[in-house]
Amino acid sequence: MIIKKRGISGTFAGLASLVSRISESDEMFKRIKSDYKNCRAGFAGELRVDNFLEELELKMPYYVLQNLTIKVGKKRVQIDTILIHPNFILVIEIKNMRGEFYFDPVNKHFYRLNDEGKKEGMRNPEAQLSRSTTIIDSFLRDKGIEMSAKGLIVFVSRAGIVMQASEKWKTIPLDSLVEYIELLEDQTKRVVPSETCKRLALELLAEDRPEKLVSIVDYYNVSVDKVKKGVRCPGCNYIPMLRKHSRWCCGKCGEESRDAHLNTLQEYRLLFGPEITSRSAIDFMQHNSIYFAIRVLTNNAEIKKVKARYRLFQINDEKHLLSEFIREELKK
């Protein structure tokens, strides 16, 4: 049973929005595009693992939490996927990369060979997995459970080949994931009752901390006036749509929409942060009616501050409205 499903990555959605709204000639474009591609690969890899886990056929009840961010004491860690079973707890670290990879057990380095045969150092998934399992073990001790988390590194891409495997953690290709977990169930003994597993899953869920929202425009130090404004077409992603007779109309594909501005409002939240004024709203949506902006914000945001002739709103988190946009981005 999936206790927590993986939602849309705010970081990826923000990068997808930004990379489509700034000029390729901008000095920050190459860095943003590179980060966007890496983030897209990571998110796509996580979704592929989620699909494989749906094929599991285990004999005993188990619970899965995806994209879990927890804090125990002063330590905070993001966990791609954790599976809680009466026989074991499995923390899964997901990598979706191409190339030939090597885990150096002596220097604790993780690298791949580039096209010129030179070593290209990368963030070591061993270290990330060690932090994740350590914090889960600490959580279990606090609950009085004598159980240690197992770790697993999964390489998603068939173009990613591990030439020298990790000596500390099991490392497998995605195609072996289901078989590995089903064998793990057969080869281990029950440690805790099924009821305890469910309680642990719910308690871990209660510890989950939402993804911290930052202004991605500020993070990359992009000038506000360099970000393309306008409502995005839900059909072809063209910007901007025009407002005609209470509808948004696309000049490129002819799509019409009554509420395309709601998707764009979510883009604003990811690009600039959740706070917005009615003036900022009409400027970003390229609409000339302040009354329209106030009505939209009143229905889709919370009033945070009110002064004379001034209202500050906080946009509600509804990233699911960007699902179609994200689906198209993942196809690229």
Read off the pTM.
0.90
Q: Let me know if domain 2-207 sits in CATH 3.40.1350.10.
A: yes
Pull the structure tokens for residue 186.
């057969």
> Rounded to an integer, what distance in angstroms lies between the CA atom of residue 320 and that of residue 266?
9
Pull the structure tokens for residue 202.
């719910």
> Rounded to an integer, what distance in angstroms lies between the CA atom of residue 153 and that of residue 125?
7
Fold of 229-330: Arc Repressor Mutant, subunit A (1.10.10)
Give the per-residue pLDDT at 247.
95
Within 10 Å of residue 117's Cβ, how many Cβ atoms? 6
Name the residue ranges covered by the structural domains of the chain: 2-207, 229-330
Give the per-residue pLDDT at 233.
97
Give the per-residue pLDDT at 308.
62
**Per-10-residue mean pLDDT, the chain, length 332:** 92 96 94 96 96 96 95 81 98 94 91 84 93 93 92 95 94 97 96 94 91 88 94 96 94 96 97 94 93 93 79 94 95 87
DSSP-derived letter for residue 228 is P
